[in-house]
């Protein structure tokens, strides 16, 4: 019996990545408080939230295999979230110019009925160019990446902001590490092919 697969996310980027797998899946909002805990590192935030999102939806759909994911931009140990607006995005990109960030992208797969639970994190090292203010402004006006951690979309024009990307799971920077997700789905009994 193939279990229902659910993506516990409202992110259109994660939904687009899941579509690449040609696997039927549902999408349900996890309704999880994403406030970082005091002293929590960026990687710990991403890991905790990915698992909490998967478990929150698995409680509502105990027979399903549920995928939760979270991404936190890590600038020298400081968490950078989604900017939400132009002003905050400008400030983020100014701080990031010439810097190396690690985008901590965590994924968790849970099936409450079978007791299955696995999680992993795919750190992506990203080197930003030393951008001038005019380039930052042009980029933000064209792409408006206000719903993206770190204010940059590498799958679009944001690639022009970067010097290098280093990752063993290329989709992780977009928001869902598909290599790790596929591995966990197979372990949970989902036939991908």
Domain ranges of the chain: 5-187
Judged against a pLDDT cut of 90, whether residue 2 lies above it is answered with no
Q: Does domain 5-187 have CATH number 3.40.50.740?
A: no
Structure tokens at 100: 């190396």
Q: What is the pLDDT of residue 139?
A: 97
- Distances from the Cα of 191 to the Cα of 67, 172, 185, 187, 188, angstroms: 15, 22, 8, 9, 9
Using pLDDT thresholds of 50, 70 and 90, give the confidence band for residue 150.
confident
pLDDT in tens, 57-86: 999 999 999 999 999 999 999 998 889 999
Average pLDDT, the chain: 96
- Sequence-ordered list of residues with C-beta below 8 angstroms from that of 54, at least 6 positions apart, any chain: 8, 30, 66, 67, 68, 108, 109, 110, 117, 119
pLDDT in tens, 89-125: 999 999 999 999 999 999 999 999 999 999 999 999 9
| Three-point CA angle 72, 94, 71, nearest 5° | 10
Predicted TM-score of the model (pTM): 0.93
Question: Which residue from 153, 179, 149 is spatially nearest to 167, judged by alpha carbons?
Answer: 179
Q: What positions carry a catalytic annotation? A: 70
């Amino acid at each position: 019996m193939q279990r229902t697969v659910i993506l516990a996310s409202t992110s259109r980027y994660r939904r687009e990545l899941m579509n690449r797998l040609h696997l039927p899946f549902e999408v349900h909002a996890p309704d999880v408080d994403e406030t970082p805990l005091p002293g929590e590192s960026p990687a710990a935030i991403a890991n905790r939230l990915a698992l909490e999102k998967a478990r929150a939806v698995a409680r509502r759909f105990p027979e399903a295999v549920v995928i939760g994911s979270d991404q936190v931009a890590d600038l020298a140990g400081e968490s950078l979230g989604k900017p939400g607006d132009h002003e905050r995005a400008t400030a983020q990109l100014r701080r990031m110019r010439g810097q190396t960030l690690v985008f901590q992208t965590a994924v968790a797969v849970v099936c409450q009925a079978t007791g299955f639970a696995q999680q992993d994190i795919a750190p992506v090292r990203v080197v930003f160019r030393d951008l001038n203010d005019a380039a930052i402004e042009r980029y933000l006006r064209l792409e408006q990446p206000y719903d993206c951690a770190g204010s940059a979309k590498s799958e679009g024009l944001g690639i022009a902001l970067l010097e290098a990307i280093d990752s063993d799971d290329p989709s992780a920077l977009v928001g869902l590490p598909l290599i790790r997700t596929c591995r966990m789905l197979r372990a949970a009994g989902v036939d991908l092919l």
